[in-house]
Structure 1
Amino acid sequence: MSATVQFIQYDAEKLEAKLMAGVDSKLDEFLKHFKPVQPAEYLTRQQVAQMFDVDLSTVHNWCKSKKLNPLGIGSRVYFLRSEIEASLIPLNK
């Protein structure tokens, strides 16, 4: 059971252009509201120390002074990259 649709006022090129314009407008509207979710990136103490070129004891001191928020599972300690970047403060205000 198939239906036949006839477009009398449009030739193939005009129909294709109309369809593409409709698809483009819907796609543009979708992309305005689409925000891809980035997965959380966890860093180890060593990676944080390398990131800032400091010693592990400095990372430990930053945790004790609440400058960094460590997360743990078992005996492992991790830091969210987004929280580390958010903890940076501008020097020139």
Structure 2
Amino acid sequence: MNTVTQLHSTTPEKFKAELLQGVTECLNQFSEQQKATEPVEWLSRKDLKVMLQVSLVTIHDWCKKGILKPYKIGRMVRFKRSEVVRILEESATK
């Protein structure tokens, strides 16, 4: 069974150009999204202690106060480096 699709008010060249433009835009968006996605770097409490030059008690207090967002898996606690850097930058502008 053959099916025929007819397009009105356009030429094959215009249709092809519009189709290619749409595909190109989609690929560009996808490419930008992939560039923006950086791998997550996880920090332990000890890593954070060294980075911020504070005690583990201070890190614990900041977690309880909601300043830092801990991610827990079982007994392990990790922090996203990007979130810690963002918090530091925001506190510097205040």
**Structure 2 length-normalised TM:** 0.58
Give the equivalent residue in structure 2 for 1:57.
57
Q: CA deviation at 1:91?
A: 3.6
Deviations 1:14-48 (A, max 9, x none): xxxxxxxxxxxxxxxx6xx6452311011000000
- Looking at CA atoms only, which structure, 1 or 2, has the larger radius of gyration? 1
What residue identity is the alignment partner of 1:83?
E
- Matching residue of 2:12: none
1:39 maps to which residue? 39
User: 1:62 is aligned with what amino acid?
Assistant: W
How far apart are the structure 2 equivalents of 1:43 and 1:92? 24
Distance 1:92 1:85, change over 3 A: closer
Structure number with the higher helix fraction is 2
Q: CA RMSD in A?
A: 2.4
Tell me the CA shift for residue 81 of structure 1.
0.6
List gaps (5 residues or longer) in structure 1.
1-29
Indicate the percent of aligned positions where both proteins have the same amino acid: 37
Deviation string, structure 1 residues 50-92 (Cα, Å, up to 9, x no partner): 0011110010011011000000101000001111111122445
Structure 1 residues 90 and 59: CA distance shift in structure 2, 3 A: closer
Q: Matches of 2:52 and 2:44 in 1, distance apart?
A: 13
